[in-house]
Chains A and B, each alone.
Chain A
Amino acid sequence: MTPDIRELEIEMEEVEEAVAEALAYAQKLGNSAAECAISRSRGINVGTRLGEVETVEFNQDGALGITVYRGQQKGSASTTDLTPAAIRATVDKASSIAQFTSADPCTGLAPAELMATDIPDLDLCHPADQSAQFALEQALTCEQHALQLDPRIVNSDGAGYSSHVGFRVYGNSHGFLAGYMQSRHVLSCSLIAKQGDAMQRDYSYTIARHRDDLWTPEQVAEDAVAATVARLDARKIATAKVPVIFRADVANSLFSHLVNAISSGSLYRKSSFLLDQLGQQIMPSWLTIHEQPHIPRALASSPFDHEGLATTARDIIKDGVLETYLLTSYAARKLGMQPTGHAGGIHTWQVGHQVPDLKALCQQMGTGLLVTELMGQGVNIVNGDYSRGAAGFWVENGEIQYPVEEITIAGNLADMLRNIVAIAGDIDHRHGVLTGSVLLEEMRIAGV
């Protein structure tokens, strides 16, 4: 039950034709330009709980999105029905909408001369067995292993395995038409531990383009058990100002706020705490973040962006200085700059580090809070105000003392970025931002 990659290629070629036809039809309707994307994916998603099958879900998804331009006016429409008649109806709808939107001098396709011409093969598609039997075996093995590792694990929220393959095709009236296939396999396990009356839940997961790059079911189980059991007997701590470590698996959230603050919409709406900071030092001078969009098999690799622009390796932060914004062609026109190939998001970021591991980072911190979970949306990108729920561990003399819960950590993102003290090499590869744990000089903890 492994999808045949050759069949997928043929299907993608058919979809490329459908995109070309949609673009031709948009032109026939009198639109001056158009762009269209179709994505499709298929796969399986299963869940087990307490050693029994819980759900078996067969997924098959597809969607088309089209934007047409009548001069400087634009209209967009999308559909999940990919039959030729439905696609034409969707183009009709987009064209009709374009008659009602205003002329916007900055709107339009990305510049023709910047379209990707060479589409590198980034080795992103590795189909694997999508049979229910295989998928269930993965989840059951993982969960059963977890349930017998520690007597304090009294219940399970279940294990899950999913495997999907698909592709994305994008074309526009500059003549750009390309697609790439990708796959994604995930194994996860969520457990419940109990001590006295108090229950704690935690989980672990592994995700990869190639099934061989997944952790084994046993590794996921062991990681989930360790995380869940470690939370038992958590306490609140006193309100204070202390140094804080964001463990690698939550540290990427810090960089995602940075992404948000230097991205198109936040900038041209002047809604960012990093406004006018291009070329300025916003992080410590030892820190460099490099974007590398073409790492084979990486989760956040892509050969071109959502506007057809080539993705290129670049420094985002060099020696602490903000080297680039992340701009779509629309934002670039608004700001009088060049687009950067970030329509649709960032590509793999590699964050530099100078401390070997988390243990060393804890030792460097001495006494403070190690954060392993963040809750809520208390982040204001306009002014950088940051206040989120947190859980983790209290650290003294570089050693974990006890788990901590029901506290908040607060500060301002501009200060937090500037006051990064050190970053460890315990890189979490499950995210688009490859970073290890991050030590911040100080944050305000609210507790008892």
Chain B
Amino acid sequence: MQTPNVEHNLLHHHELDRDAIHQSLATLYTGAIDFADIYLQSSMHESWVLEDGIIKSGSFHIEAGLGVRAIHGDKTGFAYADEISLSALNKAAAAARGISQAGQAKQLQVVQRAQAIERYTSINPLNLPEQAKIDLLRAIDEYARRQDPRVVEVIASVTGSYDEILVAATDGTFATDVRPLVRVNCTILVEQNGRRERGSAGGGARVEYNYFTETVGVNGAAKPRWQVFVDEAVRQALINLEARPAPAGTMPVVLGPGWPGVLLHEAVGHGLEGDFNRKGSSAYAGKIGEMVASELCTIVDDGTLAHRRGSLSVDDEGTPAGYNVLIEKGRLVGYMQDKMNARLMGVNPTGNGRRESFSCLPMPRMTNTYMLAGEHDPEEIIASVKRGIYAPNFAGGQVDITSGKFVFSASEAYLIEDGKITAPLKGATLIGNGPEAMRQVSMVGHDLQLDDGVGVCGKDGQSVPVGVGQPTLKLDAMTVGGTD
């Protein structure tokens, strides 16, 4: 396999070279401009969908372009073009430059290629023959329908993307990255006595599509990974058929391991992004060194995990991804930073400068955010609850970082009565206040799990892939938005 030559693809192929980039940076880096960078990107995305037992649609998207940013203090000028060429580069640079008056030229840093560790392989998953993707979808459909006669509809999708990026900056940064990302998703509709319910599951990573056909061990059985997703979707749909209204009110809540880490993403993660803290708009602003969670909580943002959906070799500013401890034994120890906010706050960038594409400005964003394992046995945690709910699956969440209020919606939940899981419950929204909720964490399991690779995080209209994770954990009091 030949490693793609990103410099060739993004520069030479468009009659550009390092000198042209250097020239452009030199014209930007004058007068009051503190920092400027140029970001080039070419990306492809494909999606195949099966529904009604047929391959219903296939689509392919391609885009390429460049973005130029010039920063003066906390002011940012930004322009982009959806083509890569010298004239587009010059035009965008001139527009971005307008943020401050031109002045004396400054000395550019010597270009240094970042020596980042590769967190995934430089492969293009889209190269797999189409027939193989279609065969996978058909296999999902057949297998899902075989699992239970109540399965009435299967919607399955296979999506993949391939990104090449190059970033060069006045601080000497010159970095490239090749980012594969694949995902399989499966939604099952079941029907019983006229009641219809849905279950959904899926996963993915920065790998090739054969990831989904690899054999994995589950409860002693060996099966291809895609079957594990289908089993899970069918299981959830069938449980929903039995679900009864969730209770309403404040009660103990036990969250399952893995994907319920959405809690941390919403209750803690967003509030610890550098921009909100520099501006003082986060409920966590100015609280470094303070206890902001129970001492059982150690929470990290880790972009270095191999092949993970939220992982990065380098971020979109060329900073190598990091393992950043955010909260250590309950104490707030760090924020997530991009270059601009790091500089303005007098700290180092943490590898969290991300952007959806060349046409968007980078911001501090999460990568894979999770809580480290504790000491309790998960069963012991459930046994400790007299009356409450156990929620092992969630649909998503949202946070108001200023007031700290956050919600996340359980898509699978059970009543806990006298230390035992009893009836399945209908989905319900849980609401809390970040710092308060984290102080309510009274037990942490030893079963840390990461999610299966489906997370998408939105901020200021920009979506980026992320990961979450946590062990089983118990919050002594949370508000549960049921109807009962």
Contact = CB atoms under 8 A, between A and B. Distances in A.
B160 to A, nearest CB: 13
Given A77-B61, A378-B428, A389 B153 contact: no
Interface stretch (B177-185, B322-330, B404-412): B404-412
A201 B130 contact: no
A83 B83 CA distance: 9
Nearest to B81: A60
A376 B57 contact: no
Contact of A410 (B59, B78, B248): B248
Interface string B440-464: 0000000000000000000000000
For chain A, the bracket of interface size reads: 35 or more
Q: Which 6 A-B pairs have the closest CB atoms?
A: A408-B481, A389-B407, A102-B54, A201-B402, A376-B407, A446-B248
Interface in A44-81: 49, 52-62, 74-81
B482 A446 contact: yes
A324 interface: no
5 contacts: A61-B359, A76-B59, A385-B427, A407-B479, A412-B483
A389 B405 contact: yes
A364 interface: no
B168 to A, nearest CB: 20
Interface string A131-151: 010000000000000000000
A230 interface: no
A56 B76 contact: yes
A295 B129 CA distance: 49
Interface of A: 49, 52-62, 74-83, 86, 89-90, 93-94, 96-98, 100-104, 132, 155, 157, 192, 198-201, 231, 236, 239, 269-271, 375-378, 380, 382-383, 385, 387-389, 391, 405-412, 444-448
B398 A376 contact: yes
B196 to A, nearest CB: 6
Tell which of A102, A407, A409, A447 has the most Cβ of chain B within 10 Å.
Answer: A102
A78 B359 CA distance: 17
A93 B60 contact: yes
Q: Interface majority SS on B: helix, strand, loop or mixed?
A: strand
Contacts of B484: 444
Contacts of B96: 58
Nearest to B198: A382
B479 A201 contact: no
A79 B64 CA distance: 9
B153 A155 contact: no
A199 B427 contact: no
B402 A447 contact: no
B334 interface: no
Contact of A387 (B82, B131, B189, B427): B427
Contact of B279 (A77, A98, A157, A385): A157
Contact of A101 (B56, B79, B99, B483): B56
Contacts of A409: 481
Nearest to B42: A81
A121 B354 CA distance: 42
A410 B189 contact: no
Nearest to B402: A201
Tell which of A199, A377, A378, A407 has the most Cβ of chain B within 10 Å.
Answer: A378
A382 B75 contact: no
Contacts of A201: 281, 400, 402-403
Contacts of B206: none
B392 interface: no
A375 B400 contact: yes
Nearest to A236: B479
Contacts of A192: 280-281, 402
B229 interface: no
Given A376-B409, A387-B427, A53 B75 contact: yes
B269 interface: no
Contacts of B397: 376
Contact of A55 (B75, B131, B283, B428): B75
Nearest to A73: B55
A444 B483 contact: yes
Given A94-B60, A97-B59, A270-B153, A54 B75 contact: yes
A77 B45 CA distance: 10
Interface string B329-369: 00000000000000000000000000000010100000000
Contacts of A103: 54
A97 B481 contact: no
B117 to A, nearest CB: 32
B400 A54 contact: no
A58 B83 CA distance: 15
Given A57-B78, A406-B405, A446-B481, A81 B58 contact: no
B173 interface: no
A54 B50 CA distance: 45
B281 A157 contact: yes
Contact of B481 (A55, A62, A388): A388
A387 B481 contact: yes
Contacts of A445: 248
B95 interface: yes
Interface in B354-386: 359, 361
Interface string B28-67: 0000000000000000000010011011111111111100
A98 B481 CA distance: 46
A101 B95 CA distance: 44
A80 B249 contact: no
A79 B99 contact: no
Contacts of B159: none
A389 B361 contact: no
B78 A56 contact: yes
Contacts of B60: 76-78, 90, 93-94, 97
Tell which of B63, B76, B248, B397 has the most Cβ of chain A within 10 Å.
Answer: B248
A59 B196 CA distance: 45
B83 to A, nearest CB: 6
Interface in B65-118: 65, 74-83, 92, 95-96, 98-99
A410 to B, nearest CB: 5
B238 to A, nearest CB: 14
B407 A446 contact: no
A220 to B, nearest CB: 19
Contacts of A75: 58-59
Given A102-B54, A376-B431, A407-B479, 7 more contacts: A60-B82, A236-B479, A239-B250, A271-B198, A375-B407, A382-B197, A410-B248
Nearest to A75: B58
A380 B425 CA distance: 14
Contacts of B233: none
B399 to A, nearest CB: 8
B274 interface: no
A90 B62 contact: yes
B409 A62 contact: no
Contacts of A57: 78-79, 361
Contacts of B427: 378, 380, 385, 387
Contacts of B78: 55-58
Contacts of B398: 375-377, 389
B396 interface: yes
A253 B407 CA distance: 17
A33 B279 CA distance: 54
A408 to B, nearest CB: 3
Nearest to A199: B402
A38 to B, nearest CB: 12
Contacts of B74: 49, 52, 54
A221 B65 CA distance: 37
B55 A378 contact: no
B426 to A, nearest CB: 5
A412 B99 CA distance: 51
Given A57-B361, A271-B189, A378 B249 contact: no
A407 B428 CA distance: 12
Contact of B131 (A78, A96, A100, A199): A100
B134 interface: yes
